[in-house]
Amino acid sequence: MSRYALFGRSVSSSPSPRIHAAFARQTGIAMEYTAIDVEPQALGAALEAFVAGGGRGANITVPHKEAAFARCARLSDRARQAGAVNTLRLDQGQWYGDNTDGAGLVRDLTDRHGLDLRGRRTLLLGAGGAARGVAPALLEAGVGELVIVNRHPERADALADMLGEPARAHTRYWEDLATIGDFELIINATSAGRHDGSALMLPLALCNDMTAAVDLNYGDVAIAFLAWARSAGLRTIIDGLGMLVEQAAESFQLWHGVRPDTDAVYALLRQATPEPKAA
């Protein structure tokens, strides 16, 4: 039985093992998938031990996506563009790295939620591994403008430079949020409220009648941003559960050559994590 795993910090409660177990049953593929908690300084040793124990592939989550990128001998175009990896596959004893986050997000927003991303003025909050994974896919999906804002502006500038489309993708300061206009799509790729449960204070001036609010997180981690979206009276509020399932399906296809059906798996997980309600 081939072994696969999720590597991250505090991932013991992640639904990823359930997702891949469902995919395996659906496709008749024998595989084992576990979640492995690892601190940043121990990632290299953990991956080596995993391979020694028969590991064939892995998903990578916070805070290891950029570190995993540096460990790959080969990279997909989208991983190279993002500068971050969320999927590893062992090829002839070396890691091949991919990033399925962007494809997973776009498929969830367009296919499941019916959003047309073309031409939308988009605000991306955050510039870490999650933001780097989805930003190229958002541009490819046709958003009209991508404004990147991060509390550490140098990271936002680095992400914009990496995207290489200054006419469409550029940065502003966090302090300017109240004066940069409104958006049709706001995506939270930060961990605000993750550790202390604090409220996420964003100006209501960012919103208009068409604004869709999307958090790449789900469950308790998404509470702060989703609460703000409800307070703003937004009609379209989406958490990251669907993206999680879709990016997992992309990873599964990279490992096994077949893409599983995601609707039934999403519905199963949605029962335990209620869909966010609009105001």
Could you give the residue numbers annotated as active site?
65
Residue 130: other Cβ atoms inside 10 A: 27
Residue 279 labelled as part of a binding site: no
Residue 14 labelled as part of a binding site: yes
Residue 236 labelled as part of a binding site: no
The answer for residues whose C-beta is within 8 angstroms of residue 175's C-beta and 6 or more apart is: none
Residue 240 labelled as part of a binding site: yes
Residue 61 labelled as part of a binding site: yes
Residue 111 labelled as part of a binding site: no
Residue 208 labelled as part of a binding site: no
Residue 247 labelled as part of a binding site: yes
Helix ranges (DSSP H) in 34-82: 43-52, 65-70, 77-82
Q: What are the backbone angles phi and psi of residue 253, rounded to the nearest 5°?
A: -65, -40
Residue 183's beta-bridge partner residues?
207
What the block records as the tokens of 173 is: 């300061």
Residue 16 labelled as part of a binding site: yes
Helix (H) or strand (E) holding 242: helix 241-256
Residue 218 labelled as part of a binding site: yes
Residue 41 labelled as part of a binding site: no
Residue 196 labelled as part of a binding site: no
Helices 241-256 and 16-27: crossing angle in degrees, nearest 10, is: 50
Beta carbons of 6 and 33 less than 8 angstroms apart: yes
**First-last CA distance in the chain:** 47
Sequential DSSP letters for 188-231: E-S-TTTTT-------GGGEEEEEEEEES--GGGGHHHHHHHHH
Binding site, annotated residues? 14-16, 61, 77, 86, 101, 126-130, 216, 218, 240, 247
Binding site, annotated residues for NADP(+)? 77, 126-130, 216, 240
Binding site, annotated residues for shikimate? 14-16, 61, 86, 101, 218, 247
